[in-house]
Amino acid sequence: MRNKKSELRNPKSEIRKPDLSVDFAGIRFKNPVLTASGTFGYGEEYADFVDLNKLGGLIVKGVSLKPIKGNPAPRIWETPSGMLNAIGLENPGVEVFIKKKMPYLRKFDTAVIVNVFGYSSEEYVGVVERLDNVPGVSGLEVNISCPNVKAGGMAFGTDVKATFELLSLVRKATKLPLIAKLSPNVTDVTEFARAARDAGCNGLSLINTLLGMAIDVTCRKPRLANCTGGLSGPAIRPVAVRMVWQTAKAVSLPIIGMGGIVTAEDALEFILAGASAVAVGTANFVNPRATLDVVEGIESFMFEQSIPSIRDVVGKVATA
Ligand SMILES: Cc1cc2nc3c(=O)[nH]c(=O)nc-3n(C[C@H](O)[C@H](O)[C@H](O)COP(=O)(O)O)c2cc1C
């Protein structure tokens, strides 16, 4: 798995140009590599490092109906092969997103998926309705890992019934392709995948962060002001690959796989497990070009193995 461009021109390869394009729930990605929500801002923040036209798609930072300030600091803590974050879904709100962020994103020939969330089903429906006819929005990714404030604070995405009810309401509020982003903090992720399918979602994203905690033993305080946070990065990758594999066997919806992807080889693990596309998250903080390295590495792999289309790899893990 090498990334150098010169090696892409493998003279022995039986194919001239591998086809990396993906049709995902009616959205065309020119390659299967997207940015994971919350780790790439609204694209502009990374534009000095990455030609956004070369990405398969951009999943932007979560957007809510009203602006949210987020949690107090410290909000990030590095852990072995990963990080804990408790940003608290800070964002400027949907109106500012539409007026200030979308005009920039529309300049690129890259699919834009808007990640949405709320603290009540009304808030979810409100933000989704507002985005429904906004030019340049290709689809919506619904982050269901938010506490349902009205129902005592349990996350929508850890209760199958609440997941189904929320996604059914959101479905009625938009014609855009809907991608449900599933939480890994559940016993059986496939129950939630079925609930999303039954509610009318067109695709799935998995996984979101795993709930974690770290403690400073000297002052006996949690490392994060919020006490707990979401664990991401390579530490969670085997959990994520397993969940994608289980989900791909359980439902026929297309999947965006994510969780600890750093290299093309990591991304290919997800694709072999059944993901049609992948998203790179925490790796962007270490290497801002990580997404493009992954695209080039996948293309290199396809040349080396004479694979005509990335679609030929999806779900092709050889299990007994
Ligand atoms: C700092 C940070 C902010 C995030 N913000 C969001 C968000 O707004 N909405 C969302 O659905 N997921 C969010 N995520 C989760 C990521 O999109 C991704 O699902 C998760 O981090 C696993 O991928 P990774 O290990 O490659 O980072 C965030 C993750 C991080 C690290």
pLDDT digits over 94-140, tens only? 999 999 999 999 999 999 999 999 999 999 999 999 999 999 999 99
Segment 47-53 shows an average pLDDT of 97
What is the distance between the terminal CA atoms of the chain, rounded to a whole angstrom?
A: 25
Q: Per-residue confidence at 2, pLDDT binned at 50, 70, 90?
A: very low
Average pLDDT over the chain reads 95
146 counts as catalytic:
yes
Minimal-distance CA residue to ligand 1 atom 21: 232
pLDDT digits over 289-318, tens only? 999 999 999 999 999 999 999 999 999 999
Distance between CA 75 and CA 229 in Å, rounded?
Answer: 8
What's the pLDDT score for residue 147?
82
89 in contact with ligand 1, CB cutoff 6 A: yes
What's the pLDDT score for residue 6?
43
205 in contact with ligand 1, CB cutoff 6 A: no
22 CA to middle of ligand 1, Å? 22
What's the pLDDT score for residue 7?
47
pLDDT digits over 153-173, tens only? 788 999 999 999 999 999 999
Distance between CA 141 and CA 35 in Å, rounded?
Answer: 12
233 in contact with ligand 1, CB cutoff 6 A: yes
What's the pLDDT score for residue 11?
64
Q: Which residues contact 134 (CB under 8 A, 6 or more apart)?
A: 98, 102
Q: What is the pTM of this model?
A: 0.96
| Residue 103 contacts residue 236 (beta carbons within 8 Å) | no
Phi-psi group of 26: left, alpha or beta (phi > 0 → left; psi -120 to 50 → alpha; rest → beta): left
39 in contact with ligand 1, CB cutoff 6 A: yes
36 CA to middle of ligand 1, Å? 6
Q: What is the DSSP string of 240-274?
A: HHHHHHHHHHH--S-EEEESS--SHHHHHHHHHHT
